[in-house]
Amino acid sequence: MTDQTSDEQTVRLLVEQLITAAGTYDLDTFEGMMAAHANIGWASLRDGAWTTSTMTAEDWIAEARSEVDPILYAEPVDDWSVHVDGGHLAFVRADAVLHIDGRPERHNIDYFTLIKQDGVWKFLTVSYVGRPARQD
């Protein structure tokens, strides 16, 4: 039997590692954390208009690798919801503020689905809803 609390802690740590890898453009680490055929999607509010996009993780990584001068960011999570089902499927909601050069830029609600394959957690989906951060 799988220890639920241990799985939840492991999954949360993996999400933190993935967020860090994305923000620092550590694309080899990011790629190694993805399941085959994983997907990335987002809905983003900018200048009063919503845009949405979806792509495979493979395509996202290829696009990121082509960036000449990527914008690095940090995205500390303020609030977590982690649910592990049967020790093999995990769902995570992470409420975070994306910072560029130490300034809050975007308020993101990130959603992750992970699956345990051969004893290793891998990401199936990475998605978020982003809005401008409040500039108090």
User: Looking up tokens 């990335």, which residue turns up?
Assistant: 40
Say whether pTM exceeds 0.85. Answer: yes
4-16 pLDDT, tens digit per residue, is 689 999 999 999 9
Q: How far apart are CA 64 and CA 26, in angstroms?
A: 10
Tokens in use for 90?
A: 């995990």
Nearest to 33, CA basis, from 125, 122, 124: 122
CATH code of the domain made up of 4-132: 3.10.450.50
pLDDT score for 3: 60
Residue type (1 letter), 114 = L
20-53 pLDDT, tens digit per residue, is 999 999 999 999 999 999 999 999 999 999 999 9
Domain residue limits, the chain:
4-132
Nearest to 20, CA basis, from 87, 85, 77, 80: 77
User: Residues 38, 57: contact at Cβ < 8 Å?
Assistant: yes
